[in-house]
Structure 1
Amino acid sequence: MEPLQVNLQRIKSDILALAEIGRNQTDHGIYRMAFTDADMEGKRWLKSQIEDAGLPYRIDGAANVSTKIQGTEDGPEIMVGSHIDTVPCAGALDGTLGVIVGLECLRCISDAKISLKRTIELVAFSDEEGRFGGMFGSQSICGEINPEMLATMTDMNGVKLEDELRRHGLDPLDALDAARDPHSIGEYLELHIEQGPVLDRMGKSVGIVDEITGLFTWSVRFKGEANHAGTTPMEMRNDAFMGLADFAHEIPRILDENGSDRSRATIGKAQILPGATNTVPGLVEFSLDVRDTSDQVLEELATAFRKALSAIARRRSLIFEFQQKSFIAPVHCSKTMIESLQRQSDVLGLESNLMPSGAAHDAQIMGRMVPVGMIFVPSKGGQSHSPSEWTAWTDIEAGANLMLNTLIQLAS
């Protein structure tokens, strides 16, 4: 059978239409954070697109929106998905592209009246961007949500998840019923923008993900002694900021000695207290984000970072404290899925690149329960999480055709 082709114009129309929901006219960013009014409007828009395609619509207790094409045989289904919620001041593609392409694949199969043995289901997961501290939709489907979490999950402003759900007429405890039987899902496939510069610089239209990075984040504190900037000699200071400065310079060495070529470490946030221009800093608080695709490497990096922080604290006469704020284990994509994607890439004449994902995705949560695969398309300039985020339409079409024909092959 000749490869089926997606309707690129339909994809374009959907992307541009959804991008207007939550759009800020001042900075041109999209503000469709999970369970805001804009997010719920986006879910309603998706419902209308599903129904216009003549497909069944469903929303579960975690407000995951789904639809499916029923197969002729009973057995584990193939799930595709991503999310339509955004970070503040977002671009038009992160998450959204995977949902729209997934819907387009189902529309194409339905329009072509192709009979498949296996059911294909599309899911638009709630809160992948972690407004409430996790990936609520995919965690719910994987049975990782419990009543205590529902009662305590809050966003950065102290807004409770359960209050937001109730505000939209949803019962928080219904999220517990969103859990799926792992045996009912055979594979999970997700298409996503790369959110990095690799494919764009290589000039390749698609990436096939082999591993999804794990990560841990720490909140770190150096406690010293605040003192007068003019009267305290340099050699008599317990300067907390100098501890941070020393540690920042240690990061490349630690990655070289204990990490891999897929290791990343970032200090993305720091606060110097008391924060006066004429006062030696007595306290520094900062974040540390560390990523790698290997559990063992992450463990070795954690040990090396602790040792470095302790040594700096002793040398600078500081007190060092840290708290682990999050940990997500790495996930290896299914070899079978990778091989299927590579075969279809060859059939379509696409030059693909086997690569890791340095960002977390719903596929990472689903990968704890079922075999997963991921397709990447290039991000212009490697930019994401900003209004400048974009991917060429030709690359979107290539990734969408790869997903469509892989799904047909897997479901036939």
Structure 2
Amino acid sequence: MEIRVDLERIKRDILTLAKIGRRESDRGIYRMAFTDADIQGKQWLTQQIEQADLVASTDGAMNISGELPGTSDAPRVLVGSHIDTVPCAGALDGTLGVVVGLECLRTLRENGFQPERTLELIAFSDEEGRFGGMFGSQAVCGQLNPQSLETTTDMNGVLLREELARHGHDALAALDAARVPESIAAYIELHIEQGPVLDRTKKAVGVVDEITGLFTWAVTLRGEANHAGTTPMEMRNDAFMGLADFAHEIPRILEENGSERSRTTIGKVQILPGATNTVPGLVEFSLDVRDTSEVVLEELGAAFRKALSAIARRRNLMFEFAQKSYLRPVACHDAIVQLLMNQASELGLDHLRMPSGAAHDAQIMGSMVPVGMIFVPSKNGQSHSPAEWTAWSDIEAGANLMLQTLVQLSSATN
């Protein structure tokens, strides 16, 4: 179809939604899941769906949907992302995918396009994990249970069920958001890359072939606190030196046991007692490990355990860890990847096939239905901050790629 999105409407929607939850003090957006600002954002989105003459609805997980009805009862195609944010966020993460999905359905509606498959925009709740997971997409995939809905809290101890009740919503209703897998033909998502690859290689769009899996550990090395002046170096059980040894081991372990898509990060460290004149007796730190292969993740986990155990023995330390989270890697559907590549070529877009190093709702949806993802460049690779931005021309390119791909996917013969 020779139709194009309206970039001015996309601009308007992005800039309007960016005002909801923005603080003047730091210009960051604070639209964390199920806060008043998030609920206001959901209400704004519902209004835009209704104004576009699409069918608006909200499910038990407070996911917002807008439908362009199809002419058949064939499984539908879902397009979307999320509008909740991390604290002090930028204007695009998640939001861009929802706004572009809305614009695609709005454009098709205005041009009299009648899809065979129903096309559904969906804005998932709590992708950023305020309550520990990807609440909205997990609800759709039937991955929630009554116990978790009753007991889950955020980092400040706020109960999920109480936060939802504050807005007149029953947490247990999220169980009713589960979809039958056979009712969905595909889920497709447009997102900013959140990394520097597309920006540095000057590519207009990225076509995601795999979404990384990850595990996070909370690691403890326990030694003995002692006086910094009276304890000889060879007589110390210094927990921090154990961490230093391990940090230097990471590049070797990645080279021997990882792949070119492996990433490992120590992002948080606490050293106790934390006095300038005391040998550290306890170190607690986080370990974030990612790869697009589940086998590689298992091998990396084993290698890191072995290294930590050896360092603990050598330094006379106690070592223990707890796995805090685990997400399986997900491969995007081959046919959708190829369709996106073909459509990008037809539109004359310089594109790159690449992995996603961050988790997305597509990762959860990919456990149940075929998925595909489009990336657009992030300026200087920045994300999760007010500096996050993408050129309007790149947004327009990604949106038109999404539009043409939805046209192809909407055929019941695909």
Specify the TM-score bucket, using the shorter chain as the normaliser: over 0.9
| Residue identity in the other structure for 1:93 | L
Give CA-to-partner distance per residue, 1:335-378, whole Å, 9 cap, x none: 11011111111111111100000000000000000000000000
| Residue identity in the other structure for 2:406 | L
Match of 2:290 in 1: 291
Match of 1:231 in 2: 230
Give CA-to-partner distance per residue, 1:106-151, whole Å, 9 cap, x none: 0000000011111110100000000000000000000000001101
| Residue identity in the other structure for 2:61 | A
Match of 1:364 in 2: 363
| Residue identity in the other structure for 1:344 | Q
| Residue identity in the other structure for 2:256 | E
| Residue identity in the other structure for 2:48 | Q
Once residues 9 and 47 of structure 1 are traced to their aligned partners in structure 2, the CA distance between those partners, rounded to angstroms, is 20
339-348 vs 257-266, which deviates more? 339-348
Instruction: Tell me how far 1:230 sits from its aligned partner.
Output: 1.1
Match of 2:155 in 1: 156
Could you say what secondary structure the match of 1:105 adopts? helix
| Residue identity in the other structure for 2:57 | R
Consecutive unaligned residues in structure 1, runs of 5 or more: none
Instruction: Tell me how far 1:278 sits from its aligned partner.
Output: 1.1
Match of 1:333 in 2: 332
Once residues 345 and 325 of structure 2 are traced to their aligned partners in structure 1, the CA distance between those partners, rounded to angstroms, is 39
Once residues 215 and 67 of structure 1 are traced to their aligned partners in structure 2, the CA distance between those partners, rounded to angstroms, is 32
1:254 counterpart = 2:271: no
Instruction: Tell me how far 1:52 sits from its aligned partner.
Output: 1.2
| Residue identity in the other structure for 1:284 | V
Match of 1:304 in 2: 303
Match of 2:51 in 1: 52
1:398 counterpart = 2:400: no
Match of 1:408 in 2: 407
Once residues 366 and 289 of structure 1 are traced to their aligned partners in structure 2, the CA distance between those partners, rounded to angstroms, is 22
Once residues 21 and 128 of structure 2 are traced to their aligned partners in structure 1, the CA distance between those partners, rounded to angstroms, is 15
| Residue identity in the other structure for 1:58 | S
1:139 counterpart = 2:138: yes
How many pairs were matched up? 411
TM-score when normalising by structure 1: 0.99
Instruction: Tell me how far 1:409 sits from its aligned partner.
Output: 1.1
Instruction: Tell me how far 1:57 sits from its aligned partner.
Output: 0.9
| Residue identity in the other structure for 2:290 | R
Match of 1:102 in 2: 101
Give CA-to-partner distance per residue, 1:215-249, whole Å, 9 cap, x none: 00000000000111111111111010111111111
1:245 counterpart = 2:244: yes
| Residue identity in the other structure for 2:286 | S
Give CA-to-partner distance per residue, 1:299-343, whole Å, 9 cap, x none: 000000000000000000000000000000000000110111111
Once residues 82 and 36 of structure 1 are traced to their aligned partners in structure 2, the CA distance between those partners, rounded to angstroms, is 18
Match of 1:354 in 2: 353
Instruction: Tell me how far 1:277 sits from its aligned partner.
Output: 1.1
Once residues 266 and 345 of structure 2 are traced to their aligned partners in structure 1, the CA distance between those partners, rounded to angstroms, is 40
Instruction: Tell me how far 1:101 sits from its aligned partner.
Output: 0.1
Once residues 61 and 23 of structure 2 are traced to their aligned partners in structure 1, the CA distance between those partners, rounded to angstroms, is 27
Match of 1:282 in 2: 281
Instruction: Tell me how far 1:56 sits from its aligned partner.
Output: 1.4
Match of 1:271 in 2: 270
Match of 2:118 in 1: 119
313-322 vs 50-59, which deviates more? 50-59
| Residue identity in the other structure for 1:78 | V
Instruction: Tell me how far 1:75 sits from its aligned partner.
Output: 1.3
Could you say what secondary structure the match of 2:394 adopts? helix
Cα RMSD of the aligned pairs, angstroms, is 0.6
8 Å Cα contact 2:216/2:323 also seen in 1: yes
Once residues 53 and 118 of structure 2 are traced to their aligned partners in structure 1, the CA distance between those partners, rounded to angstroms, is 16
TM-score when normalising by structure 2: 0.99
Could you say what secondary structure the match of 2:169 adopts? coil
Could you say what secondary structure the match of 1:188 adopts? strand
| Residue identity in the other structure for 2:88 | C
Q: Percent identity?
A: 73
| Residue identity in the other structure for 2:235 | M
Give CA-to-partner distance per residue, 1:38-76, whole Å, 9 cap, x none: 111110111111111111110111100001111101111
Consecutive unaligned residues in structure 2, runs of 5 or more: none
Once residues 229 and 351 of structure 1 are traced to their aligned partners in structure 2, the CA distance between those partners, rounded to angstroms, is 58
Could you say what secondary structure the match of 1:116 adopts? coil
8 Å Cα contact 2:74/2:116 also seen in 1: no
Once residues 47 and 62 of structure 1 are traced to their aligned partners in structure 2, the CA distance between those partners, rounded to angstroms, is 15
Moved over 3 A (4+): none
110-119 vs 213-222, which deviates more? 110-119
Match of 2:181 in 1: 182
Instruction: Tell me how far 1:153 sits from its aligned partner.
Output: 1.1
Give CA-to-partner distance per residue, 1:144-165, whole Å, 9 cap, x none: 0000110121111111111100
Once residues 288 and 151 of structure 2 are traced to their aligned partners in structure 1, the CA distance between those partners, rounded to angstroms, is 24
Could you say what secondary structure the match of 1:225 adopts? coil
Once residues 346 and 249 of structure 2 are traced to their aligned partners in structure 1, the CA distance between those partners, rounded to angstroms, is 47
Once residues 37 and 19 of structure 1 are traced to their aligned partners in structure 2, the CA distance between those partners, rounded to angstroms, is 14
Could you say what secondary structure the match of 1:57 adopts? strand
Once residues 116 and 139 of structure 1 are traced to their aligned partners in structure 2, the CA distance between those partners, rounded to angstroms, is 27
Give CA-to-partner distance per residue, 1:184-227, whole Å, 9 cap, x none: 00100000000000000111110000000000000000000011
